[in-house]
Structure 1
Amino acid sequence: MALRFLLAVLLFPFIAFTQAKKDTTTLKVVGSYTAYLSSCAANPNNKLVEIKKAIPGIVLDIRYATKNNFMKQVMYKQARAFARKPVVEQLKKIQSELNRKGYGLKIFDAYRPYAVTVAFYKKASDKAFVANPKKGSKHNRGCAVDLTLVDLKTGKDLAMPTPYDSFAPEASPTYKSLPQAVIKNRDYLISVMHRHGFRVIDNEWWHYDFIGWKNYALMDIPFERL
């Protein structure tokens, strides 16, 4: 019995190390522009399409190209927005539907290079509001968009529960203690996005994931190369 116990004590570190090594997975991130082009040639849906070029009437307010964001620093060298081809095709349909009601989309963020996600996680005070680099973000896959609604007549944003990138509890898409007009605007945006294949996340009324995100790789191609 003593010998068996001694062997267990001696072997435990080795067993624990082997198990940890076995459980560790390497995250695959496409950082090669050549590899990205090859993937587009194999499947045109992999293309990261520039949203403004595909939908000229859409409004951009790319906060991470300014210091007006929770990081308080410029994270993007260019104020541009990209998403995978099927994502942009659905955004185009949404914009058309909204326009008939007198509204339009304003994009805060879309495709985000993986390196920026790493920087966010390091600095964010509340990790619940930023993606963990160990898993990557739907933004890194070109399959997430941060957006709101604008009134076409006034050019102003419709009233929503919080400003963009707020860490407040009111940012939840199910938060109830709000003016009825605000709830109506928020829920209308959610319903339109859901009808076109997007799902709002549980702590950010502005963040929508495309339901086909699993079909796309994590990317770390800077805007300048696209």
Structure 2
Amino acid sequence: MTRNTLILFLTISFFYGCKENPNKEKKPAAVFQKIEETINRVPQKQTSPQKSFRTFEHLADTTFVRLADFSDGFAYDLRYATTNNFLKEKVYDCAECYTRVKTAKALLAANSEFHDNGVRIKFFDCYRPNSVQYKMWEIVPNPQYVANPKKGSIHNKGGAVDITLETLAGEELDMGTDFDFFGKRAYHDMSDLRQEILDNRKLLKETMEKHGFWSIRTEWWHYNLGAASNDRVADFKWDCD
């Protein structure tokens, strides 16, 4: 019963009662106060605005999109928009996660499966403009750590992401090292780790591979979408509000 319907019902009941008993003293103010008290005890339906997300309809697979426009199911810690990274410098003007449409679709599918396991993807890095790749190369001109910008990397193509997993409550899973740890402990074939860490890495790797991504041996956090390998290096830059 809605609030308005309840008001009407109680009001009619009051006046009908008065008609049946004309000698009964009428105290409209007191009665309406009682009606209001009764209504206030009835739980009201709670409504909240639903966020509208964009769709991929009419978008080419190579179009760059902002993941947050398509889902609120991801988490972000975009390190290169801060100084908390191995470069010790901020190289992005602001923290945003963009990918090509085909990469976004694969990430959404993978994240849906992760959600079924009580976790979600947390991003450290996504698409990286090639001009940023040049900036990183100036700071650390070592191909062991930074891809040569003349050739570019799949990050520059919008087909690579650096990620970890966290619980839906926001607690990161233990992967054995921090992001951008350059050492054997970060290798996928490192077995001298606690079983919990091995299980977490296995969940990340097997789920991502199921959705078209492949990993590199030395970085447990890095995943490339196979379908993006032949895309062109790009220097698309997003706006910062």
Pick the TM interval, shorter chain: 0.7 to 0.9
Contact 1:111–1:143 under 8 Å retained in 2? yes
TM-score (norm 1): 0.77
Structure 1 position 124, deviation (Å) = 2.2
AA partner of residue 118 (structure 1): Y
Q: Which has the higher contact order (CA 8 A, sep 6+)?
A: 1
Aligned to 2:231: 216
Alignment RMSD, CA only? 1.7
Q: Contact 1:113 / 1:140 at 8 angstroms: preserved in 2?
A: yes
Match in the other structure for 1:105: 121
Amino acid at match of 1:165: D
From the CA coordinates, give the structure whose radius of gyration is larger: 2
- Map Cα deviations across residues 91-142 of structure 1 (whole Å, 9 max, x no partner): 1111111111111010111100001112222322753122122310100000
Aligned to 1:201: 216
Q: Give structure 1 regions of 4+ aligned residues with deviation exceeding 4 angstroms.
A: none
Of 121, 130, 133, the residue aligned with 1:114 is 130
Instruction: List gaps (5 residues or longer) in structure 2.
Output: 1-57
Shift of the alpha carbon at 1:55? 1.9
Q: What is the percent sequence identity of the aligned residues?
A: 36
Q: Which residue of 2 aligns with 1:164?
A: 179
TM value normalised by structure 2: 0.72
Q: In structure 1, which of residues 43, 46, 63 is the aligned counterpart of residue 79 of structure 2?
A: 63
Give the Cα–Cα distance (whole angstroms) in 2 for the partners of residues 103 and 194 of structure 1. Answer: 17
Structure 1 residue aligned with 2:191: 176
- Segments of 5+ residues of structure 1 without an aligned counterpart are 1-41
DSSP-derived class of the 1:209 partner? strand
CA distance in 1, matches of 2:198, 2:141: 28
Residues 33-48 of structure 1 aligned to structure 2 (within 5 Å): 44-48=60-64
1-structure distance, mates of 2:151, 2:141: 19
